[in-house]
Amino acid sequence: MKKSVAIVGATGYTGAELIKILLNHPNFEIKTLFSSKGGEKIEEIYPAFKGVFEKEIKKAEIAEITAHDLVFLAVPHKTAMDFVIELMNEDIKIVDFSADYRLIQENYEEFYVKHTDSKNLSKAVYGLPEYFREDIKTTKLLANPGCYPTATLLGLLPFKKYIEGAVFVDAKSGVSGAGKKLNETTQYVTINENMFAYNPIHHRHSIEIKEKSGLDVNFVPHLLPITRGMMISIYANLKEDIDPLEILKEKYKNEPFIRIKDKPVDIKSVAGTNFCDIFAMKNGNSLFVNTAIDNLLRGASTQAVVNANIMMGYKETTGIPNIAYIP
């Protein structure tokens, strides 16, 4: 019997991506879509679902959510806490897209808002499968990583013990990473034929990268004039002589969603997939690591489903797209 799934926050980009993935998943069935208001129809919000998947979206209520085996909380930070506090008392597994359970309380409150659920914060598992797979298997509450931290940590962590001094991360993302809400930065006349850094050094994802890596990281994100995709360039100093590509190949030799490249990566090759492509090289003691992911998928929705597969005891590649959009 398929596991029943609820999606809270179905109207956002990551919610729509979840629907696309789960419609082709052999073990999960979307039973209910929820949003903060309810009363809408998913095929009216996203006409691409017309004749394929048509469903009314209900107003999110705890009592209705708990009737499912699994819930994806594709909601903003702070909002997720209100749901998790109630849902942790029920027989349901939770995959949270927000930042609410990714960080220790001190770091969360410095970069976000006051945390109101410290009790469950300690129970959450950070959902980067390549590094926390065994913990993910037994958790009830999964904190799905941010898109920038996912792409950065997968390139950075294999080299952690070889790095000395500060790390510099040059990150670039497509506009979909900013969500559906329009602002001056994301409107067409600003981003078209343009690129710029935003919130350098102090971006919220910087603390997630620092906390999970334990390194001194200087993080600078940039907005690209593309819809989806993310590229990371990492620069660091090495304290010993290594072969970067061999280290990557050894670390990720059994990982189904990591591809080690022998030349710099590109975004098109990962768009529409859960892959993280990684390249690395050095010049003397200077290290360069280059990664690419789909920010909406490996940075959010496919990674969430991979984590749900692990939590439910399924093969983690089940139902996950692995062919990039061509052309």
Return d(Cα 169, Cα 85) in angstroms, integer. Answer: 35
Q: Which two tokens stand for residue 251?
A: 């670390």
Measuring CA to CA, which residue among 143, 125, 145, 144 is closest to residue 135?
A: 125
Return d(Cα 58, Cα 24) in angstroms, integer. Answer: 22
Catalytic residue among 147, 175, 234, 305, which?
147
Residues in the chain: 327
Measuring CA to CA, which residue among 209, 82, 214, 84 is closest to residue 151?
A: 209
Q: Which two tokens stand for residue 106?
A: 């001190």
Instruction: Verify whether residue 276 is a known catalytic residue.
Output: no
Name residue, tokens 């506090």.
85
For 180-208, the DSSP string reads SS--TTTSHHHHTT--EE-STTT-HHHHH
Sign of CA dihedral 16, 182, 296, 228: positive
Measuring CA to CA, which residue among 213, 270, 281 is closest to residue 246?
A: 281
Provide the annotated active-site residues: 147
